[in-house]
A and B are shown apart, each in its own frame.
Chain A
Amino acid sequence: MSHATTDLWRYRGLVSNFARRELKAKYKGSVLGWAWSLLNPLATLAVYAVIFGFFLRFTPTTAGNGKANFAISLFTALVVWNFFFAVTTGSMSALIGAGPLLRKIYFPPFVPVAGNAVGTLVQTGIEFGLLMVVYLLWGNVGWTIIFVPLLLVLLAAFSFGIGLALALLNARFRDMAYIVQVVLNLLFYSAPIIYPIDFVQQRYATDPWARIYEWNPLTRFVEAFREALYTLRVPSGGWLLYLAGVSLGVLVIGWWYFQRGAAGVSEEL
């Protein structure tokens, strides 16, 4: 792993170059340009809020300020989910997209994957900024916000680890991208993003399968972020440790798996 950090440091310029390009190229040629990076999640938010909050009348949990707002609760979870989604799917396309370059000039193949993660992190930072403005206006900010950077680091490690593994798998078998789409869809609904976690917990309290649901790292991430930002409670220490362990484990395994196959990847792209 020490080798990994020196490599990361050495190629930091290239990682940021890839990240910048990712951000630049994303909305190039569109009239609203950068504004889309905010309009896009907001539009998704609006759709879900109307369907689940208004039509289906999902009841939100009570926030730290005593009020309850479905859209804000949803927004918090969506920012987390969007990051995970963008890193995992983006990793695959980033490596494939770097193929023409990798075939002609040497640089470590993890660089485009890392560049994608960094670019996504910047975008998520902006979304968080918007989210904070909303919370300030709504009057729901507490000291628990200090957990957010820690959670974000863990989420980034977790997503990047998975992204690395998927990128390499996808380079070998191009169906990976399609399989991942389906699995992510399932994951989206199996984490308490559009509905409160009580929904599941109340109904299946004694069901052993509910444990799997609860131990799903994404469930834990969404809950932890929601606690720190929405309900303003201190995330449970046990779950935080669990998340730290899982994230680090996933990152190490993802990195190891990627590096093991990286040397030959330029011939497979």
Chain B
Amino acid sequence: MNGINGAVEPAVVVTDVVKQFRLFKDRRTNLKEVLTQRHRRNRYDMFTALKGVSLDIPRGSTFGLIGHNGSGKSTLLKLIAGIHQPTSGSIEARGRISALLELGAGFHPELSGRDNVYLNGAILGMGRRQIDAAMDQIIEFSGIEEFIDTPVKVYSSGMYVRLGFSIAVNLNPEILVIDEIVAVGDEEFQRRCFDHLHELRRKGVTIIFVTHSMALVRQLCDQVAWLDHGTLRSVGSHGDVVDAYLAEVNAAESERLENQNGDTAVESGRSGTGEVRVTRLEYLDANGESRPVGVGGAPLTIRIHYEVREAVPTAVFGLGFHSENGVHIAGPNTFTAGETPYRLDEDGYIDYLLDPLPFAPGIYTVEVAVTDGSLHHVYDYQGRGAELRVQPGQGADIIGLMTISGRWRHPARDREEAL
């Protein structure tokens, strides 16, 4: 439990917290209903968002909360921030909490950006002078000098987040609580946010955040808690918890896809003369077992099943991989690989082996084509032949769309080692 922080005293102690929400079928908000309706007790269902969660968040640590949607992450954050009270159990936060929970959290739409800074500072219990001292820094960091005296109701979502984040981090929090919002700003602002988070971390601020980005968890967190349907599955250093979490998510997704459709049938965007037709693509893992998805960094075989309607003397197979936003990443084919064109008389399949599958997690479109030896006569072409879903693997994260097989060399050190 203590991880790398040893016996550091906790900044937040969560003890056996249960949180139930009443889901009103038809909320009684007027007196007449209260007085006239009987059986009042059955008018709402109880929804238990947290079912007895206990954990300590060490002072000065960066603590990630992960879990699928509806697992209770955000509820726990709201309880820590003091917005809701636990139904039973207790939460003790030792230090001034600054929370950034939703887009535009804590903003009054009619007030100007500047007035909202005062409002938020006052909510955090700061005096006017303290806020004045931080004002310039906040405005500068948010990068919205021009609009600081305009009512925030006209702000764009990006501006909301910029100002909100800027306020939250610049008003000297002792405990910073962030729900998944930082992702809204542009690339440059995000980078500044992360730089700032690193700096706060150095200063010893306890940071608690919810995210779905495992890369961010690996990058920032000392410890991670995994919530699942309102219970705590595990707490620990990020590596173990994230791996366990991903393994389960991957398994669940595979199962779902398998139930949907066994193989990736090939249909849309078709052209070609049809002597040879690709019937389906199949993905095989290292053990040769058919899988609905690929795992980044693990071997993958793409098996192209074809049917021969008319024997052809020469045939070339090709594949094309496109990222979700349309980038054509690669287009391997048997011709450029130096394979002699095949003579095809009967139905069969051909394998394309990738070891390892170099793609980053995501969804890719696979196009598939069969042509004759000259490459000009197309037997069958499918622009959107199939979908290849790549899940994150166990190893290091893939940065960008795919890994490339380069090697690093540092002559100076090599010389040192040789000596």
Contacts and interface: CB of A to CB of B under 8 A. Distances in A.
Nearest to A174: B29
A253 to B, nearest CB: 21
B35 to A, nearest CB: 10
18 contacts: A13-B122, A14-B123, A14-B125, A17-B122, A21-B111, A21-B119, A102-B83, A104-B101, A104-B102, A104-B106, A105-B105, A105-B120, A106-B97, A173-B34, A175-B31, A263-B85, A264-B85, A266-B84
A101 B106 contact: yes
Interface string A32-43: 000000000000
Interface in A143-179: 172-176, 179
B30 A175 contact: yes
Given A13-B126, A266-B83, A106 B108 contact: no
Contacts of B212: none
Given A14-B123, A21-B111, A173 B30 contact: yes
B125 A17 contact: no
B85 A14 contact: no
Interface string B98-122: 0101100110101100010011111
A14 B81 CA distance: 18
A103 B122 CA distance: 17
Contacts of A101: 106, 108, 123
B32 interface: yes
- Dominant secondary structure at the A interface: helix
B21 interface: yes
B106 A105 contact: yes
A267 B84 contact: yes
Nearest to A105: B106
B82 interface: yes
Interface residues of A, number: 25
B21 A106 contact: no
Contacts, number: 66
A10 interface: yes
A172 B29 contact: yes
Interface residues of B, number: 32
A173 B122 contact: no
B127 interface: yes
B128 interface: yes
Contacts of A10: 125
Contacts of A21: 108, 111, 115, 119
B119 to A, nearest CB: 6
Contacts of A173: 28-31, 34
A136 interface: no
A140 B31 CA distance: 49
Contacts of A175: 30-32
B99 A14 contact: no
A107 interface: yes
Contacts of A103: 83
A174 B81 contact: no
A105 B108 contact: no
A105 B123 contact: yes
A101 B120 CA distance: 10
